[in-house]
A = this chain, B = another copy of it.
């Protein structure tokens, strides 16, 4: 995480980026309420984030506020979209069209943020050629060809765990640089490819632990 151009200091955590997404959502609802200017303490009120954290997170990318005043809402939205890179559309490949995969294909949450699943792959003969929404399911054999042709850089793996690692390797070979993995296995790839593992069972186990202890979690 060195050499980030826009950053003034070299040090921001991946938590900073997660929170920027959070701020962005909040800012959009604020904008919908026709509020034009907001202070760091007002926006962080309901977000489990301190005002100082908010200001510091933004400070890594520049000073977007006015001292004594606050932040211009619509301007800040633009800036954060810029930082996150969602001011342009991103094409996403989906691998595995079982229940979860199909659900993700129809998930409105992605399109809202310029993230668009443009192709879906499966290995089951009876599925290939079928449509889910307006996306046609493609034979997994054509994965590399299609991804290269469409110049896709990000992919979602929603396959059974047994084949997830294999799929990941194929995706990387096809030029994919970011993978969101829903299969409950830890997949490993080149250092220059980013993987985000979303292990839902593990999240639930986590919950069980804290529920069982009757404990407070942050």
Whether A186 contacts B99 in the complex (CB less than 8 A), given A18-B206, A199-B21, comes out as no
Whether A206 contacts B14 in the complex (CB less than 8 A), given A184-B109, A216-B191, comes out as yes
Decide: B207 and A154 in contact? CB cutoff 8 A.
yes
Residues of B within 8 A of A103 (CB): 99-100, 102-103
The proximity string for A residues 197-216 relative to B, scoring 1 for CB distances below 8 Å and 0 otherwise, is 01111111111111111111
Closest chain-B Cβ to A123's Cβ sits at a distance in Å of 18
Decide: B106 and A46 in contact? CB cutoff 8 A.
no
Whether A209 contacts B17 in the complex (CB less than 8 A), given A99-B102, A194-B216, A201-B112, comes out as yes
Q: Which stretch, A63-71, A79-87, A140-148, touches the partner chain B?
A: A79-87
Decide: B100 and A205 in contact? CB cutoff 8 A.
no
* A169 part of interface (Cβ distance < 8 Å): no
Which residue of chain B has the shortest Cβ distance to A85 in the bound complex? B212
Q: How many copies does the complex hold?
A: 2
With an 8 Å Cβ cutoff, the count of chain A residues facing the other chain is: 67
Which residue of chain B has the shortest Cβ distance to A212 in the bound complex? B85
* A25 part of interface (Cβ distance < 8 Å): yes
Closest chain-B Cβ to A83's Cβ sits at a distance in Å of 7
Decide: A86 and B205 in contact? CB cutoff 8 A.
yes
Which residue of chain B has the shortest Cβ distance to A204 in the bound complex? B115
Whether A211 contacts B153 in the complex (CB less than 8 A), given A186-B48, A204-B180, comes out as yes
Cα–Cα, bound, A204→B110 (Å): 8
Residues of B within 8 A of A52 (CB): none
Point out which of A1, A99, A154 has the most chain B C-beta atoms below 10 A from its C-beta: A99
The proximity string for A residues 142-164 relative to B, scoring 1 for CB distances below 8 Å and 0 otherwise, is 00000000000110000000000
Decide: A22 and B203 in contact? CB cutoff 8 A.
no
Residues of B within 8 A of A26 (CB): 186
Nearest first, the 8 closest Cβ-Cβ pairs linking A and B are A103-B103, A21-B202, A85-B212, A178-B211, A99-B103, A178-B207, A109-B201, A194-B210
Can you list 8 A-B contacts with CB-CB less than 8 angstroms, sorted by A residue number?
Answer: A4-B213, A84-B205, A85-B211, A104-B200, A109-B201, A110-B201, A115-B208, A178-B211
